[in-house]
A and B are shown apart, each in its own frame.
Chain A
């Protein structure tokens, strides 16, 4: 059922190709400019809602092309220490799904083009109510979802309803996703494919650029979707190297760490909190723009 013809369309299965999203438009525009996208991650509500909103609003001008906004969860099983701690700070400060969606709504009031992808785990969405969540996310201005603990085997839970609601569902492909499994992973994926460059939790080992390029080539044999690469990218130089072979570079833990370094002992924001994140984003953006691309 996952024939190559079907997969050569923008994802196969139920697709959102009739209604292009901000994500589709952004990757198309960047392709025309001949460069990769910088995809930045931040946790909603870290270290508090106001500071996080200020960071969110400052990201596009600093050079972020796509924003992943983390929905904090008590038990982030696929995340490393940096993002775990960031989720805990956000929850401690009272972050919840309503506040996260309100942040997106407020961001959208001033920016109608930068795509926002909500990223997290399924339980807070399930408890919020899938249908209500999709409607509220869409109306707030969310463009796509990455839900770490929903593999294709559980597509009926959220992926298919999300596609129906006009949201992209972005799936992770990993080094353990072999050619036999890739079509199933890509079948209902839309927006872009997020290639996790190492097996492991977020923010640990560094990726190897040449192996990453091979993996991107492998994935592109199965899909026309853009492929963004993440997990372990920390510096402008790494971003440049990855951007040579990928359509997007995802940076998460390094930005979360940059923010954490500005917090006081009780985890409260300091005067330089927003600036620390935007400075690193600007440097990463320069790295992405300096990449020489083969395609």
Chain B
């Protein structure tokens, strides 16, 4: 895409119809439209209510365990001998990933709306676990749709969801991964529209989801701003995060979008390599189209049929990206890079050995790019990587690929 004229602020979107430039919107069946309008109104009301924020802040502090630390990765920094690297430790949240920030907000909203049946889709299972967790805490019914391929490769998370009282429904249609789980969740929602709240796990879907999920995840970037000021007395030089749908990245990036000197990098999953066609890099290898309620970059063929995504990381294995990211790419504010399965595995190992942190395979993709960016930067170049989740769930799939090591 050609780079559009830069706006005065990158933080004003979406417009009242949910558009970020040409992206976003509300491309849903009529059955869901009244529901989406109701959600939009309920969210606007909650957002303006100080009591909602107070309650949320309380749960974030005492249940999720926020603020998450901003950790100086000292040995990794010494090893790469360049930029000073910090990890935003979302992996230390209750449930082990950033997903819980958003789920807390949506479940509180569902409860306010009187919707006591919660449905969710999940890829790696982290969003499913977070949803199951919050439903247990708030006493709501929880049904999680998960592609059968993901059910097989993320067994620990399936067991966690079941232990938490959720019903996990394996999805056998299409590619049997995240996109099909989302189709199935939408079918459930169309069918049970009256009593059901669809808790979407990323900054995608019909308006208001991309905006609402972003708002709930912005706690990541807001905390980072304060923490880096305390630690370094200034803002960072760069932010970097992995992107599937892009909620952890949006949460970190959004509070910094108007600090125009800060370099911002999103890292997509290049799977077996961008030139193989076996990847999940929607910006690098896709084009704008319409799926799951929004217009955004999508992997598809020349007839507009959606292609299957491929990534070792189930959390990045989705053929699209949040619409606000699509716009940030087109206006040139965020630079999109990618990392292959192999590169992510190498970064995973390095992080384990140097920092004693087992990263999820998702942020390992972002770490793979830190490994080549950091050595070319001066020592006072501050980079913040969003360590969006922990890797315990990935040990089985890592072991398959690294049998010599584990």
Chain A residues with CB under 8 Å of chain B are 73-78, 80-81, 84, 88, 91, 96-97, 121-128, 148-154, 171-174, 176-178, 181, 185, 196, 199-201, 204
Q: How far is the CB of A147 from chain B (nearest CB, A)?
A: 9
Q: How far is the CB of B173 from chain A (nearest CB, A)?
A: 6
Chain B residues with CB under 8 Å of chain A are 17, 25-35, 173-174, 179-180, 183, 186-187, 190-194, 287, 289-293, 298, 300, 302-306
B304 pairs with A151, CB closer than 8 A: no
- Complex CA–CA separation, A196 to B193 (angstroms): 14
Cβ-defined partner of B186 (8 Å) among A74, A77, A81, A84: A77
B291 pairs with A123, CB closer than 8 A: yes
Sorted nearest first, the 10 A-B pairs with minimum C-beta distance are A127-B304, A124-B304, A200-B191, A96-B303, A174-B31, A78-B29, A149-B27, A123-B304, A74-B306, A74-B305
Cβ-defined partner of B28 (8 Å) among A126, A128, A149: A149
- Complex CA–CA separation, A201 to B305 (angstroms): 20
For B307, give the chain A residue with the smallest CB separation.
A74
Name 20 interchain pairs, CB-CB below 8 A, sorted by A.
A77-B292, A78-B29, A81-B173, A123-B304, A126-B289, A126-B304, A127-B304, A128-B303, A149-B29, A153-B17, A153-B25, A173-B30, A176-B30, A176-B31, A176-B35, A177-B33, A178-B34, A199-B31, A199-B192, A201-B187
B304 pairs with A176, CB closer than 8 A: no
- Complex CA–CA separation, A19 to B2 (angstroms): 40
Measured between beta carbons, the chain B residues less than 8 angstroms from A200 are: 31, 190-191
Main secondary structure on A side of the interface with B = loop
Measured between beta carbons, the chain A residues less than 8 angstroms from B291 are: 75, 123
Q: How far is the CB of B76 from chain A (nearest CB, A)?
A: 40
A151 pairs with B28, CB closer than 8 A: yes
Measured between beta carbons, the chain B residues less than 8 angstroms from A178 are: 34
Main secondary structure on B side of the interface with A = mixed
A123 pairs with B306, CB closer than 8 A: yes
Q: How far is the CB of B126 from chain A (nearest CB, A)?
A: 23
Given contacts A78-B31, A181-B34, A200-B191, list 5 more A-B pairs with CB under 8 A: A73-B304, A75-B180, A78-B186, A148-B29, A172-B31
- Complex CA–CA separation, A153 to B37 (angstroms): 11
B30 pairs with A172, CB closer than 8 A: yes
B29 pairs with A73, CB closer than 8 A: no
For A95, give the chain B residue with the smallest CB separation.
B303
- Complex CA–CA separation, A91 to B287 (angstroms): 20
For B192, give the chain A residue with the smallest CB separation.
A199
For A99, give the chain B residue with the smallest CB separation.
B303
B190 pairs with A78, CB closer than 8 A: yes
Q: How far is the CB of A222 from chain B (nearest CB, A)?
A: 15
Measured between beta carbons, the chain A residues less than 8 angstroms from B173 are: 81, 84
B304 pairs with A77, CB closer than 8 A: no
- Complex CA–CA separation, A76 to B182 (angstroms): 11
B289 pairs with A123, CB closer than 8 A: yes
Measured between beta carbons, the chain A residues less than 8 angstroms from B306 are: 74-75, 123
For A96, give the chain B residue with the smallest CB separation.
B303
For B185, give the chain A residue with the smallest CB separation.
A77
Cβ-defined partner of B187 (8 Å) among A78, A91, A125: A78
Measured between beta carbons, the chain B residues less than 8 angstroms from A177 are: 30, 33-34
Once A78-B29, A150-B27 are accepted as A-B contacts, the answer to whether A199 and B191 lie under 8 Å apart by CB is: yes
B174 pairs with A128, CB closer than 8 A: no
